[in-house]
Amino acid sequence: EDQVTQSPEALRLQEGESSSLNCSYTVSGLRGLFWYRQDPGKGPEFLFTLYSAGEEKEKERLKATLTKKESFLHITAPKPEDSATYLCAVQAVNDYKLSFGAGTTVTVRA
């Protein structure tokens, strides 16, 4: 069974204070690792897909990286609008469904 573990559960940052979120995973053949952003009471919003170890993707202040066992989401100089829950999910080669981790809730204070 696919397993996704995210840490920390919660992260409180001062505006401009960079940090990283971790996602460790086990999957029977990885098709892709996904990062989504979820705001309170809303659906997950797609950020990135990573397909192979060593791959990196960037979007504004966010950068995602992938190894064979884990992924990191780096937040550089965050702003209050980056406050959200960040979800990591894996997709196996034999399937398109996503298996999610519990998420990391990031709060950025001005």
Partner 1 sequence: EPEVTQTPSHQVTQMGQEVILRCVPISNHLYFYWYRQILGQKVEFLVSFYNNEISEKSEIFDDQFSVERPDGSNFTLKIRSTKLEDSAMYFCATLGTGGASGANVLTFGAGSRLTVL
Where along the sequence are the contacts to partner 1 (CB under 8 A)? 31-32, 34, 36, 41-46, 49, 51, 87, 89, 91, 95-103
Rounded (10°) CA dihedral 81, 85, 90, 95: -90
Phi, psi of 80 (to 5 degrees): -55, -30
Between 35 and 78, whose beta carbon lies closer to partner 1?
35
The distance of closest approach from Cβ of residue 67 to partner 1 in the complex, given in angstroms and rounded to an integer, is 20
The distance of closest approach from Cβ of residue 75 to partner 1 in the complex, given in angstroms and rounded to an integer, is 21
